Structure 1
Amino acid sequence: MQVRGQCYCGAIAYEAQVEPGTATVCHCTDCQAHSGSAFRTNIPAPAAGFRLTRGTPRTYIKTAASGNRRVLAFCDVCGSSLYACAADNPQTYSLRLGTITQRHELGTPQRQIWTLRRLAWVTLPEDIDAFDEQP
């Protein structure tokens, strides 16, 4: 499915190809801190189907405990988080669901990860696959 997305202020926009029903909820402490919320919801977009259509995001390189380096892209005007991808040769962009115009058409997330870090008051449908850590 072709989707369009943008930051809150509209300075940065993108187009991407995604597969409905492939969103993931992440409860890790990094996603909690970076989103300013209890979790973050992402949907993968192959690099070949992703392109910026307006603006250039600011980026921050996050090095995980595993040593993996991830680019976190955001708008330097309004601060909206847009996507993450591998720092070297990205194959997939992890789009932030809230920035996608067609987010209501993407279906219910199919899995949740890092449930060991999930806040006790967060509940999601029981039929969503759940993983204590990164699968």
Structure 2
Amino acid sequence: MHITGSCHCGAIRYEAEADPARTALCHCNDCQQLSGAPWRASVRVDAADFRVSGEPRVYVKAAESGTRRGQAFCGECGSGLYAFTVDDPQVYAVRLGGVDQRAALPPRSQIWCDAALPWASDISALPASPRQ
């Protein structure tokens, strides 16, 4: 499916061809810290099918595995955009928060479940409050 998206302020836009089956949640400690949430949702797209307009900033960190991961974000508003393996950028993990079609991309898998916060696996019992 064709996806489009942007950072919060609109300075960076992107588009890609994405397979919805490649949508996942990651529970690793890095994703928790970088997203400020208990997990990060993303869809993996091939580099050949991914186009970006604007100039994202990239923060590079070695993952627990030792792999150097680039975390692209907007230097203006700070929105996380995508991640990639620095030494072999063949696939981009596009963060669902900025994808215009995010409602059509429910996660199909989850990874690093051993790092998942114990309360984050089932939030269905929480009361739903009106917008505040």
TM-score (norm 1): 0.86
What is residue 34 of structure 1 aligned with on the other side? 34
Q: Name structure 1 gaps, 5 residues minimum.
A: 125-135
Superposed CA RMSD in Å reads 1.4
What is residue 77 of structure 2 aligned with on the other side? 78
Q: CA deviation at 1:67?
A: 2.1
8 Å CA contact retained: 2:24, 2:41 = yes
Q: Cα distance 1:7–1:39, how it changes in 2: closer, same or farther (>3 A)? A: same
Q: How many residues align?
A: 123
Determine which structure has the larger helix proportion and give its number.
2
Cα distance in 1 between the residues matched to 2:65 and 2:39 = 21
Aligned AA (1:98): G
Q: CA deviation at 1:86?
A: 1.2
Q: Name structure 2 gaps, 5 residues minimum.
A: 123-132
Alignment of 1:1-20 (within 5 A): 1-20=1-20
What secondary structure sits across from 2:118 in the alignment?
Answer: coil
What is residue 63 of structure 1 aligned with on the other side? 62
Alignment of 1:106-125 (within 5 A): 106=105, 108-123=106-121
What is residue 24 of structure 1 aligned with on the other side? 24
Cα distance in 1 between the residues matched to 2:118 and 2:64 = 24
Aligned AA (1:32): Q
TM-score (norm 2): 0.87
Deviation >6 Å, runs of 4+: none
Cα distance in 2 between the residues matched to 1:66 and 1:111 = 20
